Amino acid sequence: MTALQKKEHNPIAHLTREDIESLGNELDAVRASVIEARGASDAAYIRRVIKTQRTLEMASRAVLLFSKSKPAFVAGTIGLTVSKVLENMEIGHNVMHGQWDWMRDPKIHSTTWEWDNASPADLWKHSHNELHHTYTNVLGRDNDLGYGIMRVDEDQPWIPFYLGQPAWNFVNACFFEYGIAAYDLELGKYFAGRKDKAIFKRDMTKVVNKIREQATKDYVVHPALAALTGSGRRTLLANFTANLGRNLWTHSVIMCGHFPEGVETFTKTSIKGETRGDWYLRQMIGSANIHGSKAMHIATGNLSFQIEHHLFPDLPSNRYQEIAPQVQDICERYGLQYTSGSLPRQVASAWSKVIRLSLPNHIAAKVKRPSRRTPIVPTALPSRLAAAEKRAA
Ligand SMILES: [Zn+2]
């Protein structure tokens, strides 16, 4: 893990091979315990969330038919924003991860689900499930890391283009679903001549069709229906606001998952020959959590438990909160950072990193950085426990 080895305090230098494999076994056991326990109450949970979201969406769209009245406009817009957030986060992202495939319900299955987003499900599943979750925080392999338009690590060479990255990031946040569609298309790879033209053309057709469907629904059909009561323009504005609100929210949640200070990045060569234990280790120190209320966890799709999600992307999201203390305990015993903070703190931390790294390293070094964390002392490292036992014998 060279990106780590270059740092003054390599956060994993104290771990032996034996420790890393033991860490992997402990995490496998946590995963097995959830798989064994999942059942009817979990199935009831996701069905309840889907029903709530659909009811809220229908009610909000009905209210917006009368959005000529200001209270109806406000209530309908808030309701539609919340429903879109739920649809993308707690439902779409998690269903398409296959978290609920074990229910064998063809209607709530990763192979059949399509979501309310500019990016078609199959393209998103490839770039998110296969690329982002496999190559988490590996520079040059994980598109989520800076989305190909930002510098996210001191080791990345600086070019003047990065001076604008706070602006690129803000524009990307406002139109995030289109940003996702663009990088699911692997535009960078295509322009660099590394993506097959026929495949790119096929994917582009899918994206254009999906954007057209979405725009027809939000910006043509519903405003046209509302026009019958003189509420067409307000409905158009409400749909635009709901999409904007959802984009800003999802972008913030996702930034908090891998951008805040304390989260590590890795180089391509560092993952060669990676074992399951190494993979778990990278997911743990390459992700960060957000703490807050139950409602906030649901609104983030339980991605507020990003560390647990990255360790176990296919476990039902409603179980992450329950296993978080076990994961945190493992981090403490192995002397690893378990990065977590409130939503405002993590958002501010991620943005300050985006701003700091927009500058060349020699100038960025002068910018005050959030206080450096002191190295964490492991409380019960397997290799040290074994050595102590040997000495006592
Ligand atoms: Zn995910």
- Measured in Å, residue 339 CA sits from the centre of ligand 1 at 18
Q: Does 97 fall in a domain?
A: yes
Q: Does 99 fall in a domain?
A: yes
- Measured in Å, residue 159 CA sits from the centre of ligand 1 at 30
* CA gap 218, 223 in Å, rounded: 7
Number of domains in the chain: 1
Q: Does 390 fall in a domain?
A: no
Please name the helix (run of DSSP H) or strand (run of DSSP E) that holds residue 322, with its range, or none.
Answer: helix 320-333
Q: What are the Cα distances from residue 80, in Å, to 59, 148, 181, 188, 367?
A: 9, 31, 22, 33, 41
* CA gap 276, 197 in Å, rounded: 35
Q: Please write the tens of the pLDDT for every residue from 230-268.
A: 999 999 999 999 999 999 999 999 999 988 888 888 888
Q: Does 381 fall in a domain?
A: no
Q: So what's the pLDDT on residue 2?
A: 35
Q: Does 386 fall in a domain?
A: no
- Helix axis angle for 17-37 and 320-333, nearest 10°, is 160
- Measured in Å, residue 252 CA sits from the centre of ligand 1 at 15
- Measured in Å, residue 132 CA sits from the centre of ligand 1 at 8
* CA gap 349, 326 in Å, rounded: 26
Q: Does 271 fall in a domain?
A: yes
Q: How many separate helices (H) and strands (E) can be counted in the chain?
A: 19, 2
Q: Please write the tens of the pLDDT for every residue from 351-379.
A: 999 999 999 988 888 776 655 556 678 88
- Measured in Å, residue 93 CA sits from the centre of ligand 1 at 7
Per-residue pLDDT of the chain (393 residues; tens, 9 = 90+): 435 545 667 888 899 999 999 999 999 999 999 999 999 999 999 999 999 999 999 999 999 999 999 999 999 999 999 999 999 999 999 999 999 999 999 999 999 999 999 999 999 999 899 888 988 888 877 766 776 788 888 888 899 999 999 999 999 999 999 999 988 888 877 888 888 899 999 999 999 999 999 999 999 999 999 999 999 999 999 999 999 999 999 999 999 998 888 888 888 888 888 999 999 999 999 999 999 999 999 999 999 999 999 999 999 999 999 999 999 999 999 999 999 999 999 999 999 999 999 999 888 887 766 555 566 788 888 888 888 888 887
Identify the domain containing residue 355 by its residue range. 2-364
Q: Does 377 fall in a domain?
A: no
Q: What does pTM read for this prediction?
A: 0.91
- Measured in Å, residue 88 CA sits from the centre of ligand 1 at 12
Q: Please write the tens of the pLDDT for every residue from 94-135.
A: 999 999 999 999 999 999 999 999 999 999 999 899 888 988
Q: Does 388 fall in a domain?
A: no
